[in-house]
Structure 1
Amino acid sequence: MTNVTGRRPVATSAPPYGAPPTHRTPASGRGARSRGGYDRPRRPVRRTRRRWVTALIPWMFLAPALLLFVYFKLMPLLQAIRMSFYDVRPYLGDRYVGFGNYVAVTTQPLFTKAIWQTVVLAVGTTGGSIVLGFLLAILVEGQARHLWLVRTAAFLPVVTTMAVVAEVWRIMYYPGRSGALNTLLGWVGLGPEPFLAGEHQALASVMLVGIWRGAPYDMMIFLAGLASVDRNLYEAAAVDGGERWQRFRHVTLPSLRPVITILCLLAALRGLRSFTEVFLLTNGAPNGATEVIMTLIYKLGAEQGQLGVAAAGSMVLFLAIATVTIAVNTWRRRVTAR
């Protein structure tokens, strides 16, 4: 049968009613054939490279800090762990001694005394700096015009190097009657005190320096915590007839509990690692009254040449600090979960 043009029509097989038409995309070099026979386009190479570059950019910024951390923190730590199991003999070769260095450092005559005095110094410095820092924060809190100057002046001990702070306090602690602190004591009718030269006053004198230097730092943290307390709670407590002490006890302190926990941890770590102030003020004197674990490790390694024993003492201190950190974090999580 022909149409009006005189050409025979091409026979086509139409799909059954309701069936979708089947079309195939011609294969090309850019696509990959799927299971159903369709060509699926490949992922562009540029997009993959862009994702890799985007993922690498943060690591590129972190790379300098990571390299410094590895070189100045991680590698010395690993080296100290290795040295703690060896009798380090420069130019003669190290000799493996196992846990002999740990036995040697724990049997030192001043080791137990140094640990006890380190704990006392850490606890006293922590408690004193937190209490004094909180009192300073209460005094300088507010929006007054000139409070920024007071806060800056109070924060100066933190940004001052410890060597300068220790030298100033050493001059003030001069045991004679002409000393600065003994002159003040003479005005109120008290006799001169030996301070750093006395076995019973030396540790407390070093502790006072740590409190004076750490309190301004705690003050700034407390100021940030006080600024985050909801003022509506104070207004609600005042409407309910709560007095100032009751508002402080039931509103301020519960709101500052996380801040106090963090400050306790940071101050405790500072106290356990106390070295500069003790070394510059007394160097463990008089008669070992201010000897702490850090000065003992320094003397074993730098003065007596027992590098392996000093490394073992460093590992003992590291384990003590790690234990305190884990214990405080665990306790904080349990309190937060409640």
Structure 2
Amino acid sequence: MSVREAAPLSARAPVAQTSARDRRRRGGQWWVPWLFLAPALVLFLYFKFIPMARAVSMSVQEVRPYLGNTWVGGANYAEILSSDGFRSAAWNTVVLAVGQTFGSMVLGFGLALLVEGQTRKLTFIRSAAFLPVVVPLAVTAELWRIMYHPTSDGLMNQVIGLIGLGPSGFINDPHTSLASIAVTGIWRGAPYDMMIFLAGLAGIDRGLYEAATVDGASTWRRIVHVTLPGLRPVFAILFVLAAVRGFRTFTEVFLLTNGGPNGSTEVVMTLIYKLGLEQSRLGVGSAGAVLLFAATLVLTVCVQLLRRRRSA
């Protein structure tokens, strides 16, 4: 082999050795991220995934504490699906989820447009608007229960009285109780959606707004033709998050009405709680929990498939 032919080989040797060394270094540290994730994964495994697997197994059994469970197959699913109470609770859950999802997204989007900016005043306003998210849900429910006092002296009745409405029973009236809980959920969920919308607005190219302004587009047209298309991925993510949050509504319903009055606000989560812990029908309650999980999973998968099809 000539010197001219050997030179490139010697030049490539250090590069090959360096890349091999890098591969060994990266391969030897693959466990470092998992080491940091291990505590959280253990907690998720013990408090979430194992109970989920246990619920699936209990949904096909007649649970008899201290006596041993017996296999019943799909009898629990047939019982809960044929129950009028479950169908009513499922309908209330869907209505509440739809109302809270679109209400919180619309209000969150409006708040994001109002508080977008970098000034200190807007920073303070954003922090104040985000407070409902960090306040414990039990405290939020108690505050709204007080504001929903059905007499004319109640805070919400005084507010709607300014425009000539009321007094209303709110959570004490079967006709308005579900809408009242939806308002509470929207008030608490909108600031969370607002923060995600603000992150999405920061990623939109400002040159598009300048070009639209030069072309004479109004503020409404800039929102429709620039802002909304730029936030399309954000809307897809928020829709899934808000829908899952709506399907899993429990605490505010449990504390405000406990499913009343007359079952007008009974949702799947409160029904599962009553079946499993109050009536000791753990198998039927587990079947309802599995059905709720399946509905949430189907919704999430459908939204992701639609999102990929539109992006393709």
TM-score scaled by length of structure 1: 0.83
Write the deviation string for residues 99-157 of structure 1: whole angstroms up to 9, x where unpaired.
01101111222111111110000000001000101111111111233111111110000
User: Shift of residue 277 of structure 1?
Assistant: 0.5
Alignment of 1:1-338 (within 5 A): 53-337=28-312
Q: Which amino acid aligns with 1:331?
A: L
Write the deviation string for residues 19-70 of structure 1: whole angstroms up to 9, x where unpaired.
xxxxxxxxxxxxxxxxxxxxxxxxxxxx999776422222222221221111
Q: CA RMSD in A?
A: 1.8
Q: What is the rounded CA distance, in whole Å, between the counterparts of 2:212 and 2:84 in structure 1?
A: 57
Q: Which amino acid aligns with 2:219?
A: R
Q: What is the rounded CA distance, in whole Å, between the counterparts of 2:147 and 2:135 in structure 1?
A: 17
Q: What is the rounded CA distance, in whole Å, between the counterparts of 1:157 and 1:253 in structure 2?
A: 26
Q: What is the rounded CA distance, in whole Å, between the counterparts of 1:282 and 1:228 in structure 2?
A: 42
Write the deviation string for residues 215-257 of structure 1: whole angstroms up to 9, x where unpaired.
0001111111111110111111122222222222111110011
Q: Which amino acid aligns with 2:246?
A: G
- Which structure would you say has the larger RCO, counting Cα contacts within 8 Å and 6 or more residues apart? 2
SS at match of 2:168: coil
Q: What is the rounded CA distance, in whole Å, between the counterparts of 2:166 and 2:302 in structure 1?
A: 44
TM-score scaled by length of structure 2: 0.90
Q: What is the rounded CA distance, in whole Å, between the counterparts of 2:31 and 2:110 in structure 1?
A: 47
Residue segments in structure 2 that go unaligned for 5+ positions in a row? 2-21
Q: Which amino acid aligns with 2:35?
A: M
Q: Which amino acid aligns with 1:198?
A: D
How many matched pairs? 293
Q: What is the rounded CA distance, in whole Å, between the counterparts of 1:336 and 1:149 in structure 2?
A: 36
Q: What is the rounded CA distance, in whole Å, between the counterparts of 2:213 and 2:162 in structure 1?
A: 44
Change (3 A) 1:108 1:140: same
Change (3 A) 1:194 1:242: same
Structure having the higher Rg: 1
Residue segments in structure 1 that go unaligned for 5+ positions in a row? 1-17, 19-46
User: Shift of residue 185 of structure 1?
Assistant: 2.7
Q: What is the rounded CA distance, in whole Å, between the counterparts of 1:54 and 1:104 in structure 2?
A: 52
Change (3 A) 1:248 1:49: closer
Structure whose residues are more often helix by fraction: 2
Which stretch of structure 1 is more off in the superposition, 315-324 or 241-250? Answer: 241-250
